[in-house]
Structure 1
Amino acid sequence: MKKVSIRSERRKKGFTLIELIIVVAIIGILAAIAIPNFLAIQRKVRVQADVSSAKNIYDATATMIAENTLKTGDDPNKAFSINFPGRRFKDNNENNKDNLKMIYKYLKNDNIYPQSDENGYFNVYVNLNNGKPEIVVYLIGDKTKQLYPEI
């Protein structure tokens, strides 16, 4: 009689194999739902970080043009472009380097890289347009995308 009661007590202490399999299956289903959502949120945050960086670049460029500290040339109708080196893109244009140094100095940051595109870089296009500058910041990488001002 004692042996039967000891065995029944042992059985009640742990989980059965089926109960453990059900728990693992439920955790697997939850992970299958949560991981894609998490990755989508990460991607969205990276894009928002790029838009924020583009806005900072835009503001710095506009301010420096107003203060006449960027080299824009003599022609009031001239357009020019400034490329920000990316992680894998290096710009060797000498005219670009002077303006880029000025913007980096203004922003107090020389590590401005796109977060959403490893191969990408920021490009600032400025059309002086008779003293009324039009500034557009692009992300150039796998695809060219206008970041600021947003379309």
Structure 2
Amino acid sequence: MKFKSLQKKRRSGFTLVEMVIVVTILGILSGIGFMQFRNVQETSRKNADYVAAANLATAANLCLGENPNIVTTDTGKNKIISIDTLKEKGYINYIPKSQSQNSPFVIKIVEQGEEGKKSEELRVSCDLGGGNEVIFYPKPE
């Protein structure tokens, strides 16, 4: 009789080894989940920048249609449209900030093509300095 009562007591509950294994598995799964969550955050920040850049490009095109002389020229061949001017003229309600980069958006009109077949393209990017930029509009494929 005493032997049967001891067996019942030993079988109720979990051993320390079983608890450590469960905690280890939960730790591994949560680590994988946090890494996936960080990737989702980065992707959503970039997508928010693409949307903001597309809105800026639309506002710039509308502004250029009504005010073609609003363009200023920088030191290179590129022409720049001031985002502050778009806000002052009412084409945008606020000046958007880049979510994925630590720099403001820049709207440029870039000349492309060969000498005989030049065309202009509106480009919205973030200037990272040193000649580096991240282009958000048109969205790179």
Same structural fold, with TM-score higher than 0.5 when normalized by the shorter chain = yes
Cα deviation digits, residues 6-34 of structure 1 (max 9, x gap): x5444333211111111111112212322
Counterpart of 1:101 in structure 2 is 87
- 104, 108, 112: which one aligns with 1:125: 108
1:139 equivalent in alignment to 2:123? no
Cα deviation digits, residues 32-70 of structure 1 (max 9, x gap): 322222211211111111011100000110011112277
1:112 equivalent in alignment to 2:101? no
TM-score (norm 2): 0.72
Q: 4+ residue runs of structure 1 moved beyond 3 angstroms?
A: 1-4, 7-13
CA RMSD, Structure 1 to Structure 2 (Å): 3.1
Q: Is the 8 A contact 1:51 1:148 kept in 2?
A: yes
Equivalent pairs: percent with the same residue? 31
Cα deviation digits, residues 86-118 of structure 1 (max 9, x gap): xxxxxxxxxxx4x14236x3222x14111112x
Query: 1 or 2, which has the higher strand percentage?
Result: 2
Task: Kindly state the Cα deviation for residue 83 of structure 1 after the two structures are TM-superposed.
Answer: 5.3
What residue ranges of structure 2 are gaps of 5+ in the alignment?
113-118
CA distance in 1, matches of 2:95, 2:3: 73
2:59 is matched by which residue type in structure 1? A
Counterpart of 1:90 in structure 2 is none
Q: Secondary structure at the match of 2:125?
A: strand
| Count of residue pairs brought into register by the alignment | 128
Counterpart of 1:46 in structure 2 is 45
1:17 is matched by which residue type in structure 2? L
Structure of higher RCO (CA pairs closer than 8 Å, 6+ residues apart): 1
Q: Is the 8 A contact 2:60 2:81 kept in 1?
A: no
1:65 equivalent in alignment to 2:64? yes
Q: Is the 8 A contact 1:83 1:121 kept in 2?
A: no
CA distance in 2, matches of 1:32, 1:83: 44
